[in-house]
Amino acid sequence: MKIRLNKTVAAVASSALVLLAVPASGIAGASTMTAKPTYVIGYEGPLSGGNAQLGINMQWGVELAIQNANASGKLPFKLQYVGYDDQGSSTLSPAQAQSAVANNKLVAIVGPAFSGATRAAEPFYSNAGIATVSPSATAAALATGFSNNNFMRVVYGDDVQGAADANFLVKTHSAKKVLVIDDGSFYGAGLAQVVATDAKSAGATVSTNSLPQTSNCGGVASSTEYTSAATQIASANPSAVFYGGYYCDLGLLLGALSQTSYNGIIMSGDGSESSSLISGTTPASAANGVWLSAAGGGSSAFTGKLETQFKVISHGVKSSTALYSTQAYDATNVIIAAMSKIKWSSDMQLNRIAIKNALHKTTYKGVTGTIAFQSNGNLAGSGAGQVNFYQVQNGVITAAGHN
Amino acid sequence: MGGFINYFSSHFVTLGHEFWPLLVGGLATGFIYSMVAIGYTMVYGVLRLINFAHSEVFMSGGFASFFLTKWLVGSGTPSAWQSVLYVVLGVLVGGLAGAAIAAGIERVAYRPLRRRKAPKLAYLISAIGASYFLFNLAAKEFGRINFAMSPPFANHALFTFANAPVQMLDILTLVVGLLMLFGLDRLVSKSKLGRSIRAVAQDAETASLMGVNIDRTIAVTFLLGGFLGGAAGYLFGLKFGVVYTMGFTPALKAFTAAVLGGIGNLRGALIGGLLLGVVESMSVAFVNGAFTDVVSFAVLVLVLLVRPTGILGESLGRAA
């Protein structure tokens, strides 16, 4: 019993000595080897809810970029991934943005993924001087809506897609009278507005209408509005109808138009470019002939070793089917490239602003192409050749060239 | 101001071209609203409460007939007699699914509260709860996407009325709607069952003293309203497809139609539904798609200002 007690005393005493020794050796070694600081690159996007898959695709891209950057051993810091789940919703994104701002290791954000969520979150990031590089938010107005130049994106905005669509209708297909319809969403109305403006300046007569989202797209407007709209379209008989909105409601318009005498051109943007457009249209044959467009950021798949590494993270999903994963990878890497250019300070606020400013001066050759930003955050370059066209033929969305 | 006048004149110049097609489209929608409005009006008649889970009755009818139609038609093209059979089956199965769900809602969400003499607000909350449960269940089971229902017939124009092409589906909606509304009107005004429904609507306590089984009468009221609501879900689905949230907006419109025509009044539900359908249809073309609801509810407010009990007035004890 006595011996045992002594042993315990000895153990306590020796561990106390070790504890005392640790700070001492820490001070002694400071000049030769410092532990690398850890910084966080956040990602804001839908990680749960109805749009989660799109968001998770991007998460994989971000994780791959961070994993490879850490493994390279070249960085003077260690990177850590933190996800902020906004479910793609503009009502949930401000809270996520605030929580990201409050993380004092966070240097920059990949995302937000969705345009509406971006619009709602951006004021918080902007106030904190945090750069956000979105892999997928394409609404045209995002590039001009904020101060502080903290918004950037690695895809072309809907201004590029809309201009290409207007050109396609008015120049390629000689449409003289164009009716532009939108679904009242931030994305749909934005794209429609660009098409309307550009078609008008290309010389076409343009009229517009707005048909709010129905229950098919999660809205509350009456599906019956499309019956009346189709009657009106058949009567006005424009040479082309452009629809700015999503596939879920476009199907209603196509079904209603197929019951009328209208046989002009019908076109929609990337929100409609989904095979669900055909399965959601009654009759399915009404979707045939419809033109669609989508702005792509060049190559949309990893190759070689990167693809192998990606499939480990994605549990076997190929990057070619994981839409926006490559864009998210590039967005992360352009942030890492900017991080290696700045002078680090002990004030995180200054680091965030320095990274934001460095991003505007960074040119990075990524998987999807060369990435450099204009002062408004849009991808540099005219976007020529970047908008792909498709046509529904016999129930299948078929590629039909690019702008 | 000039732009304003131009806008309207340019719209009214085309009125001749568009008026009749819009009227036909509006009437077809109106019959669907009327069929759903019947469910609200009958339940209001006997229980004096609005069954806010009725939207899910509509949705259930749509989904049941969607799966049936998909299974029957597949990828083939049905012959003429098959088309007729499939349509009859679609109406029946949609209606029966609606009736079953409506009866279930009554049994689970209303009857226990009635037994405990709960206040009216409790019914409202349990109805909303039932509605959320049902459409979330549908979302979980069937997915959160919309499905197109291919009609078991070729939906081409049969004839033109004025300059309006009238399609097979419009005729079908009109025939089914009229048959059901007429049948229900007869049932309620002539049969013994109808008499007991009217008796409960007028004075439930006295009716029970006279030997009317209140529980049974209320259950039958839900079944009848549910049948029409479910069948309306089928007709709606044929044109617009089905999705788990499909009930919300049409049911809200049908409730509006019931108030417009005079709640508790069967014929009022018909008139309110048709009026609302036509007003909506016209407002999309002549005002703007985004203002459809504004126009519809402005009409509702105007009617209620002049006739606070609706166009035909409440006739609780007599019609339902």
Alpha helices in B52-119 (DSSP H): 54-73, 80-105, 111-115
Q: Are strands A364-365 and A370-371 parallel, antiparallel or unpaired?
A: antiparallel
- Judge: B284–A282 Cβ closer than 8 Å, yes or no: no
Q: pLDDT tens, A85-122?
A: 998 888 999 999 999 999 999 999 998 998 989 999 99
| Tens digits of residue pLDDT in B112-171 | 999 999 998 899 999 999 999 999 999 889 987 788 888 888 888 888 888 888 888 999
Do the Cβ atoms of A92 and A111 come closer than 8 Å? no
Q: pLDDT by residue for chain A (403 residues), tens digit each?
A: 444 444 444 444 444 444 444 444 444 444 445 688 999 999 999 998 767 788 899 999 999 999 999 999 889 999 999 999 998 888 999 999 999 999 999 999 998 998 989 999 999 999 999 999 999 898 888 988 777 789 999 988 899 999 999 999 999 999 999 999 999 888 899 999 999 999 999 999 999 999 998 888 878 888 888 988 998 899 899 999 999 998 889 999 999 999 888 999 999 998 888 778 888 888 888 999 999 998 765 457 899 999 999 999 999 988 887 878 999 999 999 999 999 999 999 999 999 999 999 999 999 999 988 899 999 999 988 888 888 899 999 998 888 888 8
Cβ(A245)–Cβ(A274) below 8 Å: no
- Give the Cα separation of A106 and A125 in Å (integer): 11
pLDDT digits (tens, 9 = 90+) for A183-227: 988 889 999 999 999 999 999 999 999 999 888 887 888 888 898
pTM of the predicted model as reported, rounded to 2 decimal places: 0.79
Q: Is residue B45 within 8 angstroms of chain A, CB to CB?
A: no
Report which DSSP code applies to B78.
-
Percent of chain A with pLDDT over 70: 90
Is B21 in Cβ contact with A276 (below 8 Å)?
Answer: no
Tokens found for residue A294: 């989508």
Put simply, the chain B residues between 262 and 301 with a CB less than 8 A from any chain A CB are 277, 280-285, 288-290, 292-293
Question: Which pair of structure tokens corresponds to residue A241?
Answer: 């109808």
**Cβ atoms A135, A109 nearer than 8 A:** no
Of residues A235, A260, A276, nearest to B145 (C-beta): A276
Q: Residue ranges of the alpha helices (H) in B143-191?
A: 168-190
Q: Measure B69 CA to nearest chain A CA, in Å.
A: 13
β pairing state of A131-134 and A106-110:
parallel
SS (H, E, C) A275-330: CHHHHCCCCHHHHCCCEEEEECCCCCCCCHHHHHHHHHHCCCCCCCCCCCHHHHHH
Residues forming a β-bridge with A85: A45
Name the band, by pLDDT with cuts 50, 70 and 90, for residue B286.
Answer: confident
b (16+ CB within 10 A) / e for B58-69: bbbbbbbbbbbb
- CA A238 from chain centre, in angstroms, equals 34
Helices (H) and strands (E) in chain B, counts: 14, 2
CB of B64 within 8 A of CB of B230? yes
ipTM associated with this complex = 0.82
Asked if B289's CB is within 8 angstroms of A221's CB, the reply is yes
pLDDT score at A169: 96
**Is A189 exposed, middle or buried, given 0-12, 13-18 or 19+ CB atoms closer than 10 A?**
middle
Q: Which residues, including other chains, have CB under 8 Å from residue B28's CB and lie 6 or more apart?
A: A227, B169, B170, B173, B174, B239, B277
Say if strands A370-371 and A387-393 run parallel, antiparallel, or are unpaired. unpaired
Q: What per-residue confidence (pLDDT) applies to A33? A: 53
Backbone angles phi, psi at B245, to 5 degrees: -100, 15
Task: Check whether the bond before A112 is cis (ω within 30° of 0).
Answer: yes
Distance CA B263, CA B259 (A): 5
- Substitution target from A210, A260, A277, A282 for chain B, most B beta carbons within 10 A: A282
| Percent of chain B scoring above 90 in pLDDT | 61
CB contact at 8 A, B22 and B277: no
Q: Is the pLDDT of residue B320 over 70?
A: no
pLDDT of residue B1: 39
**What is the reported pLDDT for A284?**
84
Q: Which amino acid belongs to residue B221? A: T
Chain B environment of A260 (Cβ under 8 Å) = 165
